[in-house]
């Protein structure tokens, strides 16, 4: 019998229980946590994973509730383009009309097609994809949220994409908690004489919270990715196990 690799299990067991569960299954839970975070000077990326009944309607409801709570200007809604299919565009437009930023996540072709219709949207770009550097070069004048993978090769790909984005005229969002990559991002921003408001870090909720506080205190923008919804626990587990 093949021995199980204990590393992913150790990562999972080392996380606070709230991280694994996400903010909670309801739209109210996401709004509550967003309010708590924005009150401390952070901005928020809402990564709501709806139930199976009507995911598009649930995301539109979330955008409306966030706007109703006066939080829209400090929140971004991540739209899962692949899962929503044809409903992704109406959801993204509804969120933008409510005053939220919109981030498009999914396979490159589907995201590219929708991003062409929504030029103000953030594109979530995993650095490990074969086309990531070319896509970052094409999108460097807009908004890109760069995310990483695991291992030395993934880190090198991340830094190559980071170099492209920081040298561009857009607004990159750097998704990492790795202290080395956090430091490199700050260094590249300084090299390119970037104003603090022209880029930001993106970090998971309840992970590296002390690092988040230090960065905010140092004048850096930090957006916290908050998972919520019925599907959040499974999504968090996939991410922590390196399968997303």
- Give bridge partners of residue 122 from the DSSP assignment: 103, 143
pLDDT given at position 53: 77
Burial class (CB in 10 A: 0-12, 13-18, 19+), 35: middle
Give mean pLDDT, residues 130-138: 95
Buried b (16+ CB within 10 A) or exposed e, 120-138: ebbbbbbbbbeebbebbee
81 domain residue, yes or no? yes
Look up the CATH number of the domain holding residue 87. 3.20.20.220
Take residue 71 and report the two structure tokens written for it: 């939080």
pLDDT higher than 90, residue 236: no
Which residues are CB-neighbours of 54 under 8 A, at least 6 positions away? Answer: none
pLDDT of residue 4: 41
| 229 found inside a domain | yes
Is the pLDDT confidence value at 218 over 80?
yes
- Find where tokens 């919520």 sit: 228
**Residue 30: pLDDT over 60:** yes
pLDDT at 215 over 50: yes
Please give the Cα distance from 161 to 234 (Å, whole number): 28
Please state the domain count of the chain: 1
| Separation between Cα atoms, residue 104 and residue 14, nearest integer Å | 30
**Residue-averaged pLDDT of the chain:** 88
Predicted confidence band at 189 (pLDDT cuts at 50, 70, 90)? Answer: very high
* CA angle (118 as vertex; 226, 85 as ends), nearest 5: 70
> How far apart are the C-alpha atoms of 232 and 15, rounded to whole Å?
15
Q: Is 116 helix (H, G, I), strand (E, B) or coil?
A: helix
Tell me whether residue 9 is in a domain.
Answer: no
Q: Is residue 5 assigned to a domain?
A: no
Domain that residue 81 falls in: 19-240
Predicted confidence (pLDDT) at residue 8 exceeds the cutoff of 70: no
Q: Which residues 6+ apart lie within 8 Å of 55 measured at CB?
A: 80, 83, 84, 87
Q: What does R_g of the chain's alpha carbons equal in angstroms?
A: 17
Burial grade of 229 (CB within 10 A; 0-12, 13-18, 19 or more): buried
**Per-residue pLDDT tens over the stretch 64-121:** 999 999 999 999 999 999 999 999 999 999 999 999 999 999 999 999 999 999 999 9
């Amino acid at each position: 019998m093949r021995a199980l690799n204990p590393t992913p299990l150790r990562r999972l067991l080392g996380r606070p229980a709230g991280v694994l569960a996400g903010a909670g299954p309801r739209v109210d839970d996401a709004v509550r946590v967003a309010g708590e975070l924005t009150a401390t000077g952070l901005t928020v990326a809402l990564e709501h994973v709806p139930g199976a009944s009507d995911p598009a309607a649930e995301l539109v409801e979330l955008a409306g509730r966030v706007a109703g709570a006066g939080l829209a200007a400090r929140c971004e809604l991540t739209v899962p383009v692949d899962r929503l299919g044809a409903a992704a565009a109406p959801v993204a437009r509804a969120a933008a009309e409510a005053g939220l930023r919109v981030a498009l996540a999914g396979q490159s072709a589907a995201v590219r097609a929708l991003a062409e219709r929504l030029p103000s949207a953030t594109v979530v770009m995993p650095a490990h994809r074969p086309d990531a550097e070319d896509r970052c070069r094409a999108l460097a004048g807009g908004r890109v949220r760069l995310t990483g993978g695991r291992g030395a090769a993934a880190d090198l790909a991340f830094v190559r994409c980071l170099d492209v984005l920081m040298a561009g005229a857009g607004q990159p969002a750097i998704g990492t908690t790795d202290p080395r990559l956090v430091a490199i991002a700050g260094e590249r921003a300084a090299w390119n004489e970037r104003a603090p408001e022209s880029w930001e870090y993106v970090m998971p909720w309840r992970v590296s919270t002390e690092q988040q506080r230090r960065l905010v205190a140092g004048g850096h923008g930090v957006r916290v990715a908050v998972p919520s919804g019925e599907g959040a626990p499974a999504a968090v587990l996939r991410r922590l196990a390196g399968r997303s």
